[in-house]
Chain A
């Protein structure tokens, strides 16, 4: 029974840890499917996290915080669009730039406004998103097997967690069942064809980047307003890059993205849980090995040893109208 409880607890923290990855990964999905590489997921998440926590603590409202997180993150996404779509700059260079501006400005502004060494004030109840208890969670708690699974694993998360997982089918529906999604995918494969059909490539890519900004904003807000009660400098700690890895691992597909993020989240949860304790058969595994595993797996995948990851064909190439 203890083993079972331990497994439920690991899976529970897997869900918590994979939510920011999932949101950022889906964010990247929109822009990369539209042919715009986005190394700047990390920076946009960080900006979202800072803006969210700062606004929530100043205006005493979690939802205002979330709104601000989205607005600021979208603004950074638009800068990326301005550089890489309008001015046809190098998308990777632009993404790198955004990460630096985000990393620096969140610390500088945080220190200037709140004077707590780059932190925002600890968020009070009502300023963060509280856990939601699903109906009947308490009643069913003592039922063996189903009880813990329902009341520990599925219930007791914040609204953003459910939103993140709801975004998976929604993203699938948008990309594969709507006209916008069809065009978005087309612009990532063959922008000239989209242009010929009389649809603006630039505007379509901008809209994809706005979707990216919204989702990275929510991801950031989750970090600073759910997982942590406030903003801490560099709190994304490479999650944007893991999300990028997950996106490749998922071969740019929404449902695969969820499983990739759950896998990477599980590795993280297991690394935290197993710190120092030996595994059966293998013996003691260094924490650093578990932390490096998502990256190693992605490199192996990219090398084509586990299936082939084929990116959108027009990815990374600015569109120049023929004349």
Chain B
């Protein structure tokens, strides 16, 4: 599909345009705050202070960011292959089963540093398997991956509710969740890193998963831009026809991309389950998979961008909690609006300001814009 938009200098393409889109999203969010009868500037100050003002705030921000790095990477890997994985939510949710079973089985026998790799493997495997079915149906039977992954989100939710109110629930308990894990399945905190800089932290669930997330971001970069497999995935994402002509197996590349995507989604589970709650509870993913869509779009599908976008959303989640406390009219659902606006302006309307920016560049220096139209990103 050709996109009739002209080329821009790289810094404008990867820096300026996303910045404009993001600013517009926040301006619109500011109008919503005004509509509620609060001062948007004061709200922004409270939000940023809540997220970065104190050590505890920073730790929470990074804890949320960890989750979003995983889901953002998950969405991005699939997107590089031209697949919209809307099922990150369900893949993460069902992976709670894998992680949960490993933790319940080994938490009394093994130390955390042995449970952790087992749980990573289990979470990734279950997430990958849950993504495999829609991938297979897309590759072999031509069913639209967006629709099947949405359906699989609901199916995953039903299975998890069934298991958590039934078989996985301790008999004596009323709450729909597993028993709490013992020390063998509790991940060590990383709060001391922030305390090195002199900040005080009361208690925050910021844990070792953050490092795992950064490693994964690096591995995803390596995979997408430095391996043959990544090259094949990007080729297929740009043009399935070209990929077919180049002898790339369509089925193989779709299955692999979706399984990697599912595995990353599954690893997200480690952060809240082993790092924070120490049990598997109903709805523990609570929309993080969907945040991943916003994060991936905002990070322009690049791991560095995704880490930055994840930290921004972590800031919104943590600061949003403070904001809800300071301004009762604005609950945490404000983040959901911002998330939607970011997806709208950085995703669906990403080309809205491009013609204007392009005209602006052309008026200063025609050469910087180039003459021939070049294929746009994504869409």
Q: Does B344 touch A at the CB level, under 8 Å? A: yes
Q: Does the CB pair B36–A112 fall under 8 Å?
A: yes
Q: Does B293 touch A at the CB level, under 8 Å? A: yes
Q: Does A204 touch B at the CB level, under 8 Å? A: no
Q: Which of A37, A101, A118 contacts B337 (CB 8 A)?
A: A101
Q: Does B348 touch A at the CB level, under 8 Å? A: yes
* Chain A neighbourhood of B158, CB < 8 A: 288-289, 291-292, 295
Q: Does the CB pair B35–A299 fall under 8 Å?
A: no
Selecting from A102-110, A195-203, A221-229, the interface stretch reads A102-110
What distance in Å separates the Cβ of B10 from its nearest Cβ neighbour in chain A?
22
Selecting from B209-217, B224-232, B325-333, the interface stretch reads B325-333
Output the nearest chain A residue to B5 by Cβ-Cβ distance.
A88
* Chain A neighbourhood of B166, CB < 8 A: 286
Q: Does B84 touch A at the CB level, under 8 Å? A: yes
Contacts A111-B331, A112-B37 hold; do A298 and B151 have CB atoms under 8 A apart? yes
Where chain B touches its partner, the secondary structure class is helix
* Chain B neighbourhood of A30, CB < 8 A: none
- CB contacts under 8 Å to A, within B113-162, are 137, 141-144, 146-148, 150-152, 154-155, 158-159, 161-162
Give Cα A77–Cα B155 distance, bound, in whole angstroms. Answer: 28
Which residues of A come within 8 Å of B, CB atoms? 37, 39, 79, 82-84, 87-94, 96-105, 107-109, 111-112, 118, 238, 241, 244-245, 248, 286, 288-289, 291-292, 295-296, 298-299, 302-304, 309, 311, 317-318, 320, 323
Output the nearest chain A residue to B335 by Cβ-Cβ distance.
A104
Q: Does the CB pair B337–A90 fall under 8 Å?
A: no
Q: Does the CB pair A302–B349 fall under 8 Å?
A: no
Q: Does the CB pair B343–A245 fall under 8 Å?
A: no
Contacts A109-B36, A238-B154, A244-B150 hold; do A97 and B348 have CB atoms under 8 A apart? yes
Q: Does the CB pair A98–B154 fall under 8 Å?
A: no
Output the nearest chain B residue to A241 by Cβ-Cβ distance.
B150
* Chain A neighbourhood of B144, CB < 8 A: 302, 311
Q: Does the CB pair B141–A105 fall under 8 Å?
A: no
- CB contacts under 8 Å to A, within B364-379, are 378-379
* Chain B neighbourhood of A112, CB < 8 A: 35-37, 329
Q: Does the CB pair A292–B159 fall under 8 Å?
A: yes
Q: Which of A92, A93, A108, A318 contacts B334 (CB 8 A)?
A: A108
When A and B form their complex, which 9 residue pairs have the shortest distance between CB atoms, in order from nearest? Answer: A100-B340, A104-B336, A104-B337, A89-B348, A94-B348, A101-B340, A302-B143, A97-B344, A292-B158
Give Cα A134–Cα B351 distance, bound, in whole angstroms. Answer: 54
Give Cα A304–Cα B331 distance, bound, in whole angstroms. Answer: 44
Q: Which of B36, B86, B137, B334 contacts A302 (CB 8 A)?
A: B137
* Chain A neighbourhood of B344, CB < 8 A: 79, 83, 94, 97-98, 101
Contacts A244-B147, A248-B147, A304-B143 hold; do A100 and B343 have CB atoms under 8 A apart? yes
Output the nearest chain A residue to B355 by Cβ-Cβ distance.
A87
Give Cα A96–Cα B340 distance, bound, in whole angstroms. Answer: 7
Contacts A291-B158, A302-B147 hold; do A98 and B340 have CB atoms under 8 A apart? yes
Q: Does the CB pair B4–A320 fall under 8 Å?
A: yes
* Chain A neighbourhood of B143, CB < 8 A: 299, 302-304, 309
Output the nearest chain A residue to B379 by Cβ-Cβ distance.
A90
Contacts A90-B348, A93-B343, A112-B37 hold; do A292 and B330 have CB atoms under 8 A apart? no
* Chain A neighbourhood of B334, CB < 8 A: 104, 108
| A-B contact list, 30 entries, CB within 8 Å | A39-B146, A87-B349, A88-B379, A89-B347, A90-B84, A91-B348, A92-B86, A93-B347, A94-B348, A96-B290, A99-B340, A100-B337, A101-B337, A104-B339, A108-B36, A111-B331, A118-B333, A245-B147, A288-B158, A288-B162, A292-B154, A292-B155, A292-B158, A299-B152, A302-B151, A304-B141, A304-B143, A318-B1, A320-B3, A323-B4
Give Cα A304–Cα B142 distance, bound, in whole angstroms. Answer: 9
Give Cα A83–Cα B343 distance, bound, in whole angstroms. Answer: 11
Give Cα A317–Cα B144 distance, bound, in whole angstroms. Answer: 14
Give Cα A118–Cα B137 distance, bound, in whole angstroms. Answer: 40
Q: Does B350 touch A at the CB level, under 8 Å? A: yes
What distance in Å separates the Cβ of B81 from its nearest Cβ neighbour in chain A?
15
Q: Does the CB pair A108–B1 fall under 8 Å?
A: no
Q: Does the CB pair B352–A108 fall under 8 Å?
A: no
Give Cα A82–Cα B151 distance, bound, in whole angstroms. Answer: 27
Give Cα A105–Cα B147 distance, bound, in whole angstroms. Answer: 25
Q: Does the CB pair B336–A100 fall under 8 Å?
A: yes
* Chain B neighbourhood of A39, CB < 8 A: 86, 146, 150
Output the nearest chain B residue to A315 by Cβ-Cβ distance.
B144
**Assuming A89-B348, A90-B378, what are 10 further A-B pairs, CB within 8 angstroms?**
A82-B349, A100-B340, A104-B339, A107-B336, A108-B329, A288-B161, A295-B155, A296-B151, A303-B141, A304-B143
Output the nearest chain A residue to B25 by Cβ-Cβ distance.
A97
* Chain B neighbourhood of A100, CB < 8 A: 290, 336-337, 339-340, 343
Q: Does B297 touch A at the CB level, under 8 Å? A: yes
Give Cα A248–Cα B146 distance, bound, in whole angstroms. Answer: 12
* Chain A neighbourhood of B147, CB < 8 A: 244-245, 248, 298, 302
